């Protein structure tokens, strides 16, 4: 049977793996403000990526990829922030796995 610390670590890990963009793990921990900031941050990151990367369907028919406009160089900023956020999610996941592994009676 699982101990209390193990159950808590598994619950937090499940919330992190399923609901990381919505900050579900932060809401579960009682950090409502951090959860709201997490939602706002991921919306800004994904939204700015969608706005800064050109969409091929907006170009005239008959144009080739060579004649299309290049991507906005500012797309590097949300991509870097998204990569950092993904790194932080993985880091927290490993920390929760270690917490599960080292749980004592």
The predicted-structure confidence for 1-39, as pLDDT tens digits, reads as follows 677 777 888 888 888 788 877 788 888 888 889 889 888
Cβ atoms 52, 40 nearer than 8 A: no
Cβ atoms 105, 6 nearer than 8 A: no
pTM, two decimals, is: 0.65
35, 41, 96, 33: CA torsion to nearest 10: -20
Cβ atoms 10, 93 nearer than 8 A: no
């Amino acid at each position: 049977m699982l101990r209390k610390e193990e159950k808590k670590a598994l619950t937090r890990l499940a919330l992190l793996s399923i609901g990381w963009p919505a900050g579900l793990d932060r809401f579960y921990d009682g950090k409502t403000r951090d959860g709201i900031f997490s939602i706002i941050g991921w919306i800004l990151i994904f939204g700015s990526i969608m706005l800064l990367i050109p969409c091929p369907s907006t170009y005239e028919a008959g144009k080739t990829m060579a004649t299309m406009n290049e991507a906005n160089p500012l797309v590097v900023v949300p991509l870097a922030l998204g990569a950092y956020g993904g790194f932080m999610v993985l880091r927290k996941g490993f920390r929760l796995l270690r917490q599960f592994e080292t749980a004592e009676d």
